[in-house]
Structure 1
Amino acid sequence: MFSKEKKFKSSFERKLEELFGLDLRSLALFRIGLALLIVTDLIKRSQDLKAHYTDFGILPRAPLIEQFLNPWFWSVHLFSGEALFQSFLFLLAGFIAFALLIGYRTRFVTIVSWALLVSLHSRNPMVLSAGDIEIRLLLFWAMFLPLGACYSVDSALNSSSKPLSERILSGATVALTLQICFIYWFTWALKSDPIWWKDGSAVYYALSIDQFATPIGQFFLGFPALLVFLTYTTLGIELLGPFLLFIPIRTSFFRLCAVVTFILLHLGFGLGLTLGLFPFISAIAWLVFIPSEFWNGMSQRLQTPQRQKLKIYYDGECGFCKKTVYLLRTFLVLPGTPLLLAQDEPEIFAEMKTHNSWVVVDWQGYKHFKFKAIAYVCHLSPLLRPLTPLLEWRPVLSAGTKAYEIIAKNRRAASKVTAPLKFRPLEVRSSLLTDIIAFLLLLCVSLWNLRTIAPSIFKLPKVVSWMTLVLRLDQKWNMFAPYPLKDDGWYVIPGQLKDGTEIDVFKDGTPVSWEKPRLVSATYSNERWRKYMMNLWSKDNSKYRLYYGRYLCRNWNTQHQGSQQLDTFSIYFMRETTLPNYQTPTVKKVRIWKHSCFNSSPEDN
């Protein structure tokens, strides 16, 4: 599968490739992770599609365009405010993400996935978090990389006889590597408050943010010394951890250490704080750094006699059959298995016609046919081996055999289904043009990040600014920087119905209670609503409150009639400021908005 061209490279080129090159198998795993993240994100967002992305919801298109949207941002989601149109775009994005998952026309679908993601993010910036910025950037740099060179439809149907290189070194691999490092170096640089550097209380303050804290996070608040240790450990990993990628000796070992360290770091964040998909996005980003030596070692361990001597014969006159066996070999991770024409061996060909089936010959020379052959090949697959008992279960085996026979009798119809899948040559190489583009964009990103820590020193040329914004490479890694949020709290929205009944609109009409919830983070249905409500509390976002008020009226009154309709309400934020050394905080009731559903003059307080 891979060419052995290392010996023709100088030691400097080999080391440069080792430090900044990326293994094609790691890129494939990265692609699969990105696609699964996009699908998961779309499913989670679709639960609030009407509220977050239509004119019925919290931010209709007109005020977004007139007041809030950066003129350099763009979004096809703004073409219509109807739920049906948004649903179509969500389904399209999901279909494209599935194509990315299986690696079909990989570069094209990566570009389309990025464009649809940027469009979605621009539609409602109030529900975005750091994880959204990161996945957007990862997908951008992925457009320049050969994500479909392994474990994909593209690689399965590769018609080129030329073996692929094991790794690729290009401007894009350098850019992606540094982009991931920038996340940690610049968030470290922005953490300038003494609670990080002097008294080490930052993790204490972070876990005290009730809108984030999980039960596990609350549990760890009982260990003050551990929290100080975790504060300094976090700073150390953010600053020094990325440098593990660039150690010139035992590079593979140290890169694996970096991958494991950062994956564990983000999983730890996710256990203590409700951060949505952010921990998973960050963990998947580090998969690109899995070194070639890891994959080669895994491949050697998987080379059992059973796998090495497996042979698969197919009908050379059936295009559907040929494509199927090539796809199976790829996705079952059996790369060395020979795929042979049954017509070339009279005995095999005769048995193929007798059984009307492909022929799988195992390491002992036994032949397997129809669905039993599928079950046997899955048994040898390192991925699907656990499914073997299910596939060999008599009811499944019987149903599978019948399905196989139906398909075998209708090969022409099956061939039409697989007609879009074409055998094409696959090349993995970088071009001078794309390298130059990647390095120029990396320069833009570097300047943009430097400006976030010293805006008076690093002035951006206009061309850098607008290019960065148009491509949505804008970023600021100020997670818990310069210090974790200290003003915390929960929402109470007492409302009055037309008949005088008082309800809490925020809690779907339950009686009003000013008591602090046992777990504040659980009062939000999901990460998007939590982010939106935390943003709404900020004075910088006070102009959004009018549209949230109007949404609450629309949402309630379309579901209730007559005297049960919502008349007026006020939005209160029960502000609780975290104090040092576990001091008991005081709670202040702050009204941030007053609204009348049938009066056109709401009051902003």
Structure 2
Amino acid sequence: MRGADEEPSAAAAGTPAAGAPAAGAPAAGAPAAGTPAAGAPAAGRLRRLGRWIREHYCTIDVRTLGLFRLVLGALLMGDCLRHWAEASWIYSNEGVLTNHYHLFHPSSGFNFSLYHAFSSLGEVHVAFALSLFCFFCFFIGWHTRLFSILSFLLVTSRDNRIVMIENGGYVVVNLITCWAMFMPTGRRFSVDALIRSYRERQERTAADLADRSRPAWAEQPYVSGVVLLAILNLATIYYFNVVNKSGQIWRRGETVHYVLHLDRMVTGLAVVAREYLPLWTKKGLTWGVLVLEALLVPWILSPYGRRVTRALAMGGMWGLHGSFGVMMRLGPFSWFMIAWSFLLPTAQHWEALERWYRRRAAPRVVVYDGGSPLAFALMRLLVRLDALELLRFEEARAAAAGAGGEAGAGGPRPELLVVRDPADGRLFQGAGALREILQALPGGRFARPVVWALSLGAPGALLGLASRRRDEMARFFGLGRRARARAAESPSPLSEKLARGRVVAREALVAYLGLCAVSQAINENKSVPAVLKHKQPSFVQATIVYPRLLQGWGMFAPNPITEDGSLAVDAITIDGRHVDPFTGEPPDLDLTDARGLGLGQIKQDYFNRIRLDRNKAFRRPGLQEFLLRYPERTGRAEDEIVAFDVYWVRDQCPRPGEGAPYKNEALPILSYRKPGYRARPGMPALPPVKKEVSAGN
């Protein structure tokens, strides 16, 4: 085997270096001649390493990016609706934290939120409606780059509006939306791609429809450092989630037992599971979680056999986080981690999926009215939707008027479109034709009930109307045979330089964010040796904290929570009733009989954080004023509150092998009595003010 010092120089490979002596000139005695030759092997190895990293970690299929955008956009819309449902008490000035108070008493350093500009509940509704519109535009891929940036600003602003309800899931949303900004997620499966295709290619004949060649921007993979950063960040989450879980409870396999008994977090399914699963099963699940999280790291990062390892990683992530999502109320964490997994498919997976789908597909021939501009416009749309090329297109002409008549003159017009099965010649018209077309499009066979509903519903009726009124609709939409688009002009030297400059600037920003992420991961994770931790410059802190791009990972680490708890309010109304304004029911100061509290992530995390001493500043006036506005929310004067005590109610989860919680406590953290209030005759006097105690740091 040739040693490193025996590797041929660049000149020996066939291309003489600049300034090298001509062929036949003596090589000995030239002092500078040996310098390039000695450095060439090292430089060549670096170039090969760079190409290898670029190929294995910095390259991604644009179809993967398109699918990733669809999943991420759908989840952003769903998460927006989840927060919108809580807008009245958590985001508006009628809630627990007004925007003006938070501006002067920010809950974190480097705090910025667009939501601080919206005060009343009506204004907050407008803010959420605009947010939902932006997420929808990102989902469909319309002006994708713009709305990906706006989506990032909006999710980080929503997080910064009230940091008390932030958990690891919010950070995952911020990170994944940040990395998406730097990716061309609109090149496939998007409105942008459709519009660009229409602009660049204008078919005029059936032969044009048969040409299925795609432009380079829709085929070439995307290469950028942000792909490497996103994949490394994903692996980092699982790495630290494993190494940070170093406690004895994890080692003994008791974590699942304790987690299933956290009534403030669990769903009804978890309540059933904890009552019927034996302890040995819970131990197996605990160790299984650790093993799976550990395996995900090499599966995600493996440069070889990625067709298998990436598929294993996706399946493992779906199983792991799907289980978390149905068992616990963790907010966006589980579902956005699943969304992150959609960055893993490679071109091999797409090709394998295409081959599998084609074996089960049903090719169809679409016969359209060749004399109808509307029909031809529909065919142009189908060409762009038919990514698997299962549809073929044929023109149909009007029949002759009779013997000796001119072809097409006065004859009956063909159907707007008819679908033919090339295997047996069956014809489908009307709703049946629409159904066959939809089933031939990508994914149509997986959604047959939806396809049937669409073909028989409004789209089917619309197709019938279009067939009857094809000429009027063509004129209304201004359809007609257009001239072929002019060939694209070559970019000017200035535009090429600007394009290269944008790429360099993008990669430089990505590299900077990557260095900030590494610094934050080192400082924030407890398992990293103290010698590596360092003081960050203020600009790095601002880069991380403003958009909440944190990197501390360790769910239930080093040990899971063994103490359950929730907030309970014992409020006294003016007519002497005791009520909890959060529930409208009498206060419950005993958790030991709970079978799940049914709290959403926002409420249970707010309850858990407001009880901490570091958040005392947000109890009065924030929480206090919200509780006193209870009669405004109910619309009943008799619900006026004259006194209340806010308790952190806690108990200890059952010991392994047992099922009953123990050691229930109610710790008063906020107490209020209406100034100057005198009880009505026959009503008991108000109890004395409770002494507020610490319920945690």
Fold equivalence (TM over 0.5) = yes
Which position in structure 2 is the counterpart of 1:459?
Answer: 535
User: Which of the numbers 502, 513, 522 marks the counterpart of 2:578?
Assistant: 502
Distance 1:27 1:193 in 2: 39
Which position in structure 1 is the counterpart of 2:114?
Answer: 76
Code of the residue aligned with 1:439 in structure 2: it is A
List per-residue Cα deviations over 1:496-520 (Å, max 9, x = no partner). 1112222233321x23444437545
Deviates more, 1:590-599 or 1:172-181: 590-599
Is 1:60 the equivalent of 2:137? no
List per-residue Cα deviations over 1:73-119 (Å, max 9, x = no partner). 32121113022222222111211222222212212211111111111
Unaligned 5+ runs, structure 2: 1-46, 201-213, 401-405, 480-484, 489-495, 678-688
1:107-506 map, 5 Å: 107-159=145-197, 162-163=215-216, 164-165=218-219, 167-197=221-251, 199-218=252-271, 219-220=273-274, 222-303=277-358, 310-311=365-366, 325-331=379-385, 333-335=387-389, 337=391, 354=413, 357=416, 363=422, 373-385=433-445, 386=448, 387-391=450-454, 393=456, 397-398=460-461, 400-402=463-465, 405=468, 409-411=472-474, 413-414=476-477, 431-453=503-525, 454=528, 457-506=533-582
Which position in structure 1 is the counterpart of 2:648?
Answer: 573
CA contact 1:208–1:578 (8 Å) conserved in 2: yes
Distance 1:352 1:310 in 2: 23
List per-residue Cα deviations over 1:129-178 (Å, max 9, x = no partner). 22111011101101111211221122233345633445323111001111
CA contact 1:20–1:177 (8 Å) conserved in 2: no
TM-score normalized by the length of structure 1: 0.85
What is the CA distance between 1:323 and its match in structure 2? 6.6
Percent of pairs with identical residues: 21
Which position in structure 2 is the counterpart of 1:539?
Answer: 613
Which position in structure 2 is the counterpart of 1:595?
Answer: 672
CA contact 1:144–1:434 (8 Å) conserved in 2: yes
List per-residue Cα deviations over 1:537-570 (Å, max 9, x = no partner). 3233232222122112113344244443221111
Paired residues in the alignment total 585
Q: Cα 1:598–1:564, aligned 2, differ >3 Å: closer, same or farther? A: farther
Distance 1:97 1:327 in 2: 25
CA contact 1:307–1:363 (8 Å) conserved in 2: no
Distance 1:10 1:342 in 2: 56
What is the CA distance between 1:594 and its match in structure 2? 1.0
Q: Cα 1:316–1:49, aligned 2, differ >3 Å: closer, same or farther? A: farther
CA contact 1:569–1:596 (8 Å) conserved in 2: yes
List per-residue Cα deviations over 1:421-441 (Å, max 9, x = no partner). x9999x999933322221221
What is the CA distance between 1:31 and its match in structure 2? 0.8
What is the CA distance between 1:602 and its match in structure 2? 10
Is 1:556 the equivalent of 2:556? no
List per-residue Cα deviations over 1:353-406 (Å, max 9, x = no partner). 935835666536777666554333113234234034435549974465136656
Which position in structure 2 is the counterpart of 1:4?
Answer: none
Q: Cα 1:371–1:272, aligned 2, differ >3 Å: closer, same or farther? A: closer
TM-score normalized by the length of structure 2: 0.74
Code of the residue aligned with 2:285 in structure 1: it is L
CA contact 1:355–1:369 (8 Å) conserved in 2: no
User: Which of the numbers 586, 601, 619 marks the counterpart of 1:527?
Assistant: 601
Distance 2:369 2:134 in 1: 31
CA contact 1:352–1:359 (8 Å) conserved in 2: no
Deviates more, 1:34-43 or 1:165-174: 165-174
CA contact 1:252–1:293 (8 Å) conserved in 2: yes
SS of equivalent residue, structure 2 residue 111: coil
Code of the residue aligned with 2:422 in structure 1: it is W
Larger Rg: 2
Distance 2:520 2:410 in 1: 66
What is the CA distance between 1:349 and its match in structure 2? 9.6
Unaligned 5+ runs, structure 1: 1-8, 417-421
Distance 2:347 2:361 in 1: 24
What is the CA distance between 1:25 and its match in structure 2? 1.9
Distance 1:55 1:136 in 2: 25
What is the CA distance between 1:414 and its match in structure 2? 4.2
CA contact 1:491–1:506 (8 Å) conserved in 2: no
